[in-house]
Amino acid sequence: MTRRGTRSGEFEIIARYFAPLASGAPLAFGLTDDVALLRVRPGRELVITTDTIVAGVHFLSDDPPRTVAQKLLRVNLSDLAAKGATPRAYLMNCSFPRDITEDWLAAFAGGLAADQAEYGIVLIGGDTTATPGPLTLSLTAIGDVPQGGLLRRKGAKVGDGIWVSGNIGDAGLGLRGLKGEELGLSVSLAAHTVERYRIPQPRLALGIKLKGIAHAGLDVSDGLVADLGHMCEASNVGAEIFADGVPLSAASRRALAAGKATIGELLTAGDDYELIFAVAAKDEPRLGRIVSRCNVKATKIGQIIRGRGVAVRDLQGNELKLARRGYVHF
């Protein structure tokens, strides 16, 4: 990618690419001040989450800038979805390599603009700096919930069913494909997995409806088994899930059939950004109606039990031995 003209400085980058993203937030002052204002509506509480993504760790250095922007925003929107929150605004800190190009910045800002329109969220501030290291992007998303309406990790109860939205495992396959691994997939199936890796689908509509029906919830970022384990640890319970009941796409089923992936790898790969939540049996009919209205798939994959940890079982009830539980940051 070639640079168009002289590289812009910090304030020129902000004015050209990011200030237009704040046009829907008058109290962001066009990103010309050091702070912004955000009014809390009566009877609502703010929900705040933040994530950092780094080139070579959370996305590939040659990923399209538009999808990098979308992933940055959407992984945070997924956290809001898991808490039942409605998105309102976000702050963004960008550490750009000095050789960043105007074309890259324009495409990156375009990805943010498209997702702002789709999800009803607006930029209200942040910071922009240069770095000699890899591209590093941090975003803090702000949403709100009715007072006392936050859905937490803590709260799962023995006997609850364990439910997950969408499909599990595609994003991990997408990353492996981008790294050049042969997965036995057709062109269209491979493209599907890459899109799932690069562009998560935050389940906001579902998350907002889960309050009052789900006892606990979070999103799947580090892997289904690992993140379910976080819910169990916070709730002081255990869980068992059945591998054959975990929802898989055609791409994941094909990779399994071709011997290019194992069920353990799919359940622990991460980057799915689906919701996992605990629901009492008596509330399952109501959940079915909610899922139908939200136009998203949700699948019961197991049950909350007494004890600690997560057991993954096969059709015969035997516990599968997993090489790992999920992505480990350190």
pLDDT at 329: 64
77: pLDDT strictly greater than 90: yes
pLDDT at 327: 67
Which of 43, 151, 144, 40 lies closest to 87, judged by CA?
A: 144
Q: How far apart are CA 23 and CA 10, in angstroms?
A: 19
pLDDT at 8: 65
1: pLDDT strictly greater than 50: no
Question: Which tens digits make up the pLDDT trace of 225-234?
Answer: 999 999 999 9
Question: Which tens digits make up the pLDDT trace of 159-206?
Answer: 999 999 999 999 999 999 999 999 999 999 999 999 999 999 999 999
Instruction: Give the homologous superfamily in CATH for domain 10-146.
Output: PurM-like, N-terminal domain (3.30.1330.10)
pLDDT at 249: 98
Three-state DSSP state, 32:
coil
Q: How far apart are CA 299 and CA 165, in angstroms?
A: 6
Question: Which tens digits make up the pLDDT trace of 262-285?
Answer: 999 999 999 999 999 999 999 999
Question: Which tens digits make up the pLDDT trace of 4-58?
Answer: 333 468 889 999 999 999 999 999 999 999 999 999 999 999 999 999 999 998 9
pLDDT at 328: 63
Angle at 36 between CA 34 and CA 39, to 5 degrees: 160
pTM: 0.93
Phi-psi region of 161 (alpha: psi -120 to 50; beta: other; left: phi over 0): beta
213: pLDDT strictly greater than 70: yes
Q: What amino acid is encoded at 187 in this protein?
A: V
Instruction: Give the homologous superfamily in CATH for domain 161-313.
Output: PurM-like C-terminal domain (3.90.650.10)
Across 215-242, average pLDDT: 97
Q: Which residues contact 28 (CB under 8 A, 6 or more apart)?
A: 22, 36, 89, 122, 123, 124, 125
Which residue ranges make up each domain of the chain? 10-146, 161-313
Q: If you average pLDDT over every residue of the chain, what do you get?
A: 94
CA-to-CA dists, residue 203 to 65, 89, 235, 251, 275, angstroms: 23, 17, 23, 21, 7
Residues 265, 243: contact at Cβ < 8 Å? no
Question: Which tens digits make up the pLDDT trace of 102-111?
Answer: 999 999 999 9
